[in-house]
Amino acid sequence: LLLGPVSFVMGAASLRDLPPDELPEIAFAGRSNVGKSSLINALTERGNLARVSNTPGRTQQLNFFRFADRMMMVDMPGYGYAEAPKAMVKAWQKMVFSYLRGRSNLARVYVLIDGRHGVKENDREVFKLLDDAAVSYQVVVTKADKEKAPVLAKRLQAIETELRRHVAAYPEVIVTSSRKMRGMETLRAAIARLLLE
């Protein structure tokens, strides 16, 4: 499914102009620069479906991609980017959080955590929000290529331990590298299973 036809539907700058909620939707959330847009490109094997940048704050809207009338995928602005103008950061965060809380067709959220940094305070806020809204989510570790295997293994364990306290979290964490195409098959399979539920 993810390697088949895909089309860009729209970028929504506010919750007033979201596309219809008739297809199951999966969203990619995470701190600025964690690699959300890169992961979408790697998963779909499209070089630049989603826009990637070295500068945090690249994705500024909710970008919707449709797969063969089966599913929507959403690339979201990052949260927690302190250097951008305060008002902008606040507006993005508000949009992302309200979307996550209120979108009725949201089948799962993938919360991305940088393999070098682990879970941060604003990630915990998102976990809590999704627990409270009873939205199922799964953690994806990104940029695995940037960390040595033993360090990464320890970090992974810490994340899994932390997730046990969260009711809506899927217990298993998927380790990825968009650069090395690691973990893509696992993540594609998880998404495919989800659509069968």
16 residue type, one letter: R
Task: List CB contacts of 197: < 8 A, sequence separation 6 or more.
Answer: 107
**Least separation, in Å, of the C-beta of 115 and ligand GTP?**
8
Distance in angstroms (rounded) separating the CA atoms of residues 86 and 94 = 12
Q: Per CB under 6 A, does 80 bind ligand GTP?
A: no
* Of positions 48, 54, 104, 161, contacts ligand GTP by CB under 6 A: 54
Q: Which helix (H) or strand (E) holds 53?
A: none
Any contact of residue 138 with Mg ion (CB under 5 A)? Answer: no
Q: Residue 177: which of Mg ion, ligand GTP, none does it interact with, CB under 5 to 8 A by kind?
A: ligand GTP
CB of 133 to Mg ion, least distance (A): 23
- What sign does the CA torsion over 95, 100, 101, 103 have? positive
Q: Which of residues 18-77 bind Mg ion (CB under 5 A)?
A: 36-37, 58-59
Both tokens of 55, joined, read: 């500068």
Chain residues that interact with ligand GTP, rule: CB under 6 A: 30, 32-38, 52-54, 56-59, 77-78, 142-143, 145-146, 177-179
